[in-house]
Structure 1
Amino acid sequence: MSKGVLTIETDYSDDDFKVKWIEIEKIISTQDFLVTLKNGNRIKASEINHKENSDEIILKEDNFATTVIKVDDIVFIRQIKKDFISRLDASLSFGFNFTKSKNLKQLTVRSTLGYTTNFWSLDGSYNSVRNNQDQSDEIHRTDANVSFNYFLKKDRFVLFSSEFLTNNEQPLDLRLTHKAGYGKYIIHNNRMYLGTGGGIASNNENYFNNADDRKSGELFGLIEVNMFDYENISLLSNLTIYPSLTEKKRWRTNFKIDLKYDLLLDFFIKLGLTYNYDNKPVEGAAYDDYILQTTFGWEL
């Protein structure tokens, strides 16, 4: 069960059954599961039973201990399997434009990839736009990131991540940012989660126009919201602010938002916006850059 939806796979059906978690009448299973609660606790359960005539569920653990919890206090259930695919989440979407005038061609890609185990997760994303037309230089913008989260008690986590950015507007040949920090989920339920965190970062920048490359130490603070149980619409957004430790009065901002509408057979339409701002860019460069993408894709 994830994002408020319980998925049941059977041998006799081509498609999985999906029901809203808070609307289930009764659930019984003797599989091994990882269960996450609203308070951030994670329980490895060998058996799940519904308490008779009640909205409570009994979780039996490997050590024969039991935990009784209300249905709406459970925010995540994953069957514990050893195979790779069962722990994988991915999405890939594309958009393409072509016009006869000046032979304009534009390709846009927006993608995510995630792998979750019992107590840690590894996530990544890749977003890119490339624009070619006659009698004009190529325009491109690419951003990517990979992050590792280790989950602690009470909905806290430790995070490590790396971010990559290149664009013509600023004009960045490469911006590589490494981060280490600590965070906590403020809201974590069957409709949404809201998390925040902060830490330290190192920032390395190379430029196209032979400007002096820059290296700096930074602090960072972030906030992320994920809203998912709203019919066929979901929203994921995050904001990160980087005040510099080594460059006086310099600060940067990264903002991202994805609005997704689910279609049949795991296809979707996505509207995504990515924006970054630097209050002290190199000479001749813009203060900010952004990308707005409309794509069609499929998710695992």
Structure 2
Amino acid sequence: MDYKTTLRLSQSFFFVAFFITSTVIWAQKDSIKLRNNDLLVGEVKTLNKSVLTFKTSYSEKDFKIDFDDVVSISTNELCVIYLTNRTQQTGRLKPYSPDSVRVINKEGGTNVFALREIIQLEEIDEKFWSRFSGALDVGFNLAKTNNNRQLTYAGNLKYSSDKWNTKFDFNVLYSERDDTERIERKTASFASQRYLKQWYISGEVSYLQSTELGIKNRITPAAGIGRLLIVTNKLYWIVGSGITYNIEDFFDTQLNKQSTELQLLTQFDMFNFENLNFNTRVIGYPSLSEKGRFRLDYNFVMKYDLPYDFYIKAEFTLNYDNQPAIAGNFADYVFSSGFGWELK
């Protein structure tokens, strides 16, 4: 075999290998089609709160796409798909018809769903660290009157798997002015939920320190069960109940006590409404061991998403106790605003 023949064969082999490799690589790509007929090819990273995160080779930044604009989706990897009826499917997504999709499981079985029934999507082979998300924000207020200064900072860290959702969050307030003592308020919680179709079980440990209520430390472990009443790709509403064990240490140590309480809660979330997100949560604690005592925790958060994962936030928190440690101080409330960044 002469040199030219060898060269031609080598070139032909290289071309065939390149074609096959390119075809395989292309076949391994995910794809989505939008209502304006744009077709994106790359990698579906996550779908959460009606926002689809999509990565392409030609863009340094991941695309954040409103899932309402998606009419067709195809994934190469196995995914866990969460539906509005709180069931979940495991399989690959393939187009079926406009605004609907086939889920092909590992055994080859097929189920068809409307795209709007999908509320969350995660690839099974995602790396451990990619399952984390979080946020951190800071706010500062300064007024000339009485040299009033207020600092707030808050944050959260979340981990989501195909079975569990776990979240840690904290919120801290320091307030000083010339004519009063320093005011401090600190809250933190660690909670985990396991979904069982329309139901869920949960465990939580919360912490509170409040100079206004005279509470040095309040630690409240709780366990309960709840139900999802409404779940869509834009909002959800849940209710639940459980038992808490309340451990309270006051600045006046003679008031230290422990008690058992019933927990009744409701939570309502609305998200991705033109970059606005709303969250409100109410928890009532009728005491089982202290006659006539009732506590209530209320929280409302409004967040507006900015470019590059930044956001601005306004938050209102209320703690009420009809049998307070300090006479007359039935409630402690905080309204704060801040600027933050979100890890996605």
Shared fold, TM over 0.5: yes
Q: Which residue of 2 aligns with 1:156?
A: 199
The letter for the 2-side match of 1:144 is A
Q: Out of 113, 129, 154, which is 1:69 matched to?
A: 113
Q: Structure 2 unaligned runs (5+)?
A: 1-46
Aligned mates of 2:157, 2:167 — CA distance in 1:
6
Are residues 1:203 and 2:246 paired?
Answer: yes
Aligned mates of 1:284, 1:105 — CA distance in 2:
27
| TM-aligned CA deviation for residue 44 of structure 1 | 1.7
Q: Equivalences for 1:7-46 in 2 at 5 Å?
A: 7-45=53-91
Aligned mates of 1:54, 1:207 — CA distance in 2:
61
Q: How many residues are paired up?
A: 297
Please provide the CA RMSD for this pair. Answer: 1.6
Q: Which residue of 1 aligns with 2:258?
A: 215
- Report % sequence identity: 31
Aligned mates of 2:179, 2:235 — CA distance in 1:
48
Q: Which has the higher helix share?
A: 2
| TM-aligned CA deviation for residue 180 of structure 1 | 0.4
Q: Which residue of 2 aligns with 1:60?
A: 104
**Does structure 1 retain, via aligned residues, the 8 Å contact 2:139–2:151?**
yes
Aligned mates of 1:291, 1:81 — CA distance in 2:
42
| TM-aligned CA deviation for residue 103 of structure 1 | 5.0
Q: Equivalences for 1:175-186 in 2 at 5 Å?
A: 175-186=218-229
| TM-aligned CA deviation for residue 28 of structure 1 | 1.1
Q: Which residue of 2 aligns with 1:170?
A: 213
The letter for the 2-side match of 1:296 is F
Stretch deviating more after TM superposition (55-64 or 141-150): 55-64
Are residues 1:291 and 2:337 paired?
Answer: no
Aligned mates of 2:332, 2:213 — CA distance in 1:
7
Q: Which residue of 2 aligns with 1:50?
A: 95
**Does structure 2 retain, via aligned residues, the 8 Å contact 1:169–1:285?**
no
| TM-aligned CA deviation for residue 215 of structure 1 | 0.6
Aligned mates of 1:232, 1:19 — CA distance in 2:
12
**Does structure 1 retain, via aligned residues, the 8 Å contact 2:87–2:198?**
yes
Aligned mates of 1:101, 1:20 — CA distance in 2:
46
The letter for the 1-side match of 2:253 is N
Q: Which residue of 2 aligns with 1:88?
A: 132
**Does structure 1 retain, via aligned residues, the 8 Å contact 2:84–2:231?**
yes
Q: Which residue of 2 aligns with 1:141?
A: 185
Are residues 1:281 and 2:327 paired?
Answer: no
Aligned mates of 1:11, 1:54 — CA distance in 2:
26
TM-score, structure 2 as length reference: 0.82
Aligned mates of 1:265, 1:55 — CA distance in 2:
29
Q: Which residue of 1 aligns with 2:51?
A: 5
Q: Which residue of 1 aligns with 2:278?
A: 235
Aligned mates of 1:190, 1:102 — CA distance in 2:
48
| TM-aligned CA deviation for residue 102 of structure 1 | 5.4
Are residues 1:264 and 2:310 paired?
Answer: no
**Does structure 2 retain, via aligned residues, the 8 Å contact 1:220–1:241?**
yes
**Does structure 1 retain, via aligned residues, the 8 Å contact 2:213–2:326?**
no
Higher relative contact order (CA 8 A, sep 6+): 1
TM-score, structure 1 as length reference: 0.94
Q: Which residue of 1 aligns with 2:176?
A: 132
Stretch deviating more after TM superposition (194-203 or 276-285): 276-285
